[in-house]
Structure 1
Amino acid sequence: MIPRARYKRQETYRIFASEFSGSSLTEQKSEEYAPAFIISKIGAKVNRAMVCGVVENIERRDGDSGSSYNFAIRDPTGVIRLNIAPFQPELHPTAEEMLLKFDSGERFLILFVGKSRWFESEDGGVFTSLRVEECCVIERERYLSWLTSTADATLRRIDTYNKALEVGLDEGEMRAAKVPEDLIPGIIAARNHYQKVDTEEIKLGVLKAISLVVKGTDPVEESADSQEVDNPGMERIDDSHEINEQLGNAEPIDVILGILSSNGGDLVGYDDLVAACVSAGSSGEAAEDAIEHLRDVTMEISEPRFGFFSISS
């Protein structure tokens, strides 16, 4: 009998949505039970992550194998997406409670611990998410504590990455330069993969989080005021006047198909499709019905990533 390789439990990273969702480098060895990693632009090698945010969407889907739950939460830097699978029945009661709260109109803070997963499109695009291992509703104080610790961890990675740019891609050189041992493999992989890394942009997200903590802003209200979703490679439709000029009082199905057909293959968000239909003269309910019809009945559109759509291939 060939002995199985033994893998230690991986570190749990505290990471903001923009750093995680902006990653396109993955690592998955062929051995059974080998951990899978998403490697960020500044070298976070994430197998497991702790993330927090205000709930933006919860959806239950019922299939032949059981129910699954898709979540979207927002932190000060953007949106991160998570999934509870049918084979995780121990998490379903908690997910149902959260779904009931969300459907009642309540917005609240959630903490998740999850494992990295991703979907790779035919053109090589990588869309990241987390498979939930633990989750709970949290209070504002715990969220602010997470923001503080995650900001500290992110600044450490930024400073270390910038310091590592002064030396070569050799582990020995990095150790000699006192680059922390835990970050060396991820930084080497990141520098080999990502062509240009703007650490100031990542730092800006950290400053947003710190500002929220210092000002004592209500995170739920702050999230409601935020309009932009930081998801590289995904188009957002912001100009409702332009949409009206292009589409007039078109039927929602025609609006959706028109947008996705002319979008160059990029994914378009659910909220953006609904907004476009409303701008073209439809009701929000009619827009939602049209999306479901095109996805589930005629199958003219697909949802490669939760909440984002494209024309079916």
Structure 2
Amino acid sequence: MGGDSVISGTGSRRVRQSAIRIFAQEYSESSLIEKGVGEYDPSFVITKLGAKVNRCLICGGLERMERRDGDSGPFYRGQVRDPSGTHYFDVAPFQPELHPDAEELLARFETGDSILVSIVGRQKSNESEDGGIFTSIRAESFAEIDLESYKSWMVEAADATLRRLEAYASSQGAELSEDGLRDSGVPDDLISGMLQARGHYSEFDTEAYRVWILKAFSRALGRAEETPEVSIEENVKPV
């Protein structure tokens, strides 16, 4: 995984992971978590297609937004819908620099406006009492976007997902080792995640993934009059 080096306050070097473009369904179906060992080692949500998600860039229609008060102060929770499903995100009490923008977004949402948003955030996961994994995103930044920006993101996310689908298909029948996956045609940057994913998840039908990828391309190319995220022709106001 690539990323930018960052010097922490203690002088330790950590790497800011690149933000992966990912649709909600692939992310929400994930149940494999890789926890960082050291204080500055990243943790990852590993998807069925082998994406190792530490940070991600998501876009879609703002479906829900609310402010809550907790023991540590106010925080915000919301949902963003893309062509495949729903992402869940939050803005934590320890992120006061984001609270004014969150309040502004909440006010817009409460008026009933249809809003397209872009969120860069860090993976977050919780385990239920019965062992189920719930994935969400801790927002690092967010912004309202216009329709063209949303279309561009859909194309980028669809391209990235197709690349992972092709890698997954190439891995079928291959020896589950770095050399085996490399020889089968899996790109080097996907090998680590693919090894972990193939060892954790059962084989699954990828057809549903291909269906919503086609939906994303169709909407991005203007072949769909509306999206379930927002009524894009009439209701989205310019930024």
For 2:104 and 2:19, locate their aligned partners in 1 and report how far apart those are by CA, in whole Å. 26
Q: Secondary structure at the match of 1:149?
A: helix
Q: Deviations over 1:54-80 (max 9, x none)?
A: 011001012232210101010010001
Q: Secondary structure at the match of 2:14?
A: coil
Of structures 1 and 2, the one scoring higher in RCO (CA 8 A, sep 6+) is: 2
- Partner of residue 229 from structure 2, selected from 223, 227, 231: 223
User: Does structure 1 conserve the Cα–Cα contact (< 8 Å) formed by 2:115 and 2:230?
Assistant: no
User: Does structure 2 conserve the Cα–Cα contact (< 8 Å) formed by 1:74 and 1:80?
Assistant: yes
- Partner of residue 70 from structure 1, selected from 73, 77, 80: 77
User: Structure 2-normalised TM-score?
Assistant: 0.88
More helix by share: 1
- Partner of residue 203 from structure 2, selected from 196, 208, 221: 196
Q: Tell me the CA shift for residue 37 of structure 1.
A: 0.5
User: Does structure 1 conserve the Cα–Cα contact (< 8 Å) formed by 2:75 and 2:93?
Assistant: yes
For 2:122 and 2:195, locate their aligned partners in 1 and report how far apart those are by CA, in whole Å. 22
For 1:111 and 1:218, locate their aligned partners in 2 and report how far apart those are by CA, in whole Å. 21
User: Does structure 1 conserve the Cα–Cα contact (< 8 Å) formed by 2:20 and 2:56?
Assistant: yes
For 2:118 and 2:185, locate their aligned partners in 1 and report how far apart those are by CA, in whole Å. 33
Q: Tell me the CA shift for residue 218 of structure 1.
A: 5.5
User: Does structure 1 conserve the Cα–Cα contact (< 8 Å) formed by 2:23 and 2:157?
Assistant: yes
Matches within 5 A, 1:102-117: 102-117=109-124
Report the number of matched residues: 222
Q: Which amino acid aligns with 2:213?
A: V
User: Does structure 2 conserve the Cα–Cα contact (< 8 Å) formed by 1:76 and 1:205?
Assistant: yes
| Bigger shift: residues 6-15 or 112-121 | 6-15
User: Does structure 1 conserve the Cα–Cα contact (< 8 Å) formed by 2:60 and 2:80?
Assistant: yes
Q: Secondary structure at the match of 2:15?
A: coil
Q: Tell me the CA shift for residue 173 of structure 1.
A: 1.8
User: Structure 1-normalised TM-score?
Assistant: 0.68
Q: Tell me the CA shift for residue 28 of structure 1.
A: 0.2
Q: Deviations over 1:15-53 (max 9, x none)?
A: 000000111111103321211110110101100000001
- Partner of residue 88 from structure 1, selected from 82, 85, 95: 95
Describe the shift of the 1:7–1:181 C-alpha distance in structure 2 as closer, same or farther (beyond 3 A). farther
For 1:71 and 1:217, locate their aligned partners in 2 and report how far apart those are by CA, in whole Å. 26
1:27 aligned residue: 34
Q: Which amino acid aligns with 2:66?
A: E
Structure 1 unaligned regions, length at least 5: 226-313
Larger Rg: 1
For 2:20 and 2:230, locate their aligned partners in 1 and report how far apart those are by CA, in whole Å. 26
Q: Which amino acid aligns with 2:38?
A: E
For 2:143 and 2:35, locate their aligned partners in 1 and report how far apart those are by CA, in whole Å. 29
Q: Tell me the CA shift for residue 215 of structure 1.
A: 3.0
Aligned-residue CA RMSD (Å): 1.8
Q: Secondary structure at the match of 1:56?
A: strand
Structure 2 unaligned regions, length at least 5: 1-9, 232-239
**What percentage of aligned pairs have identical amino acids?**
46
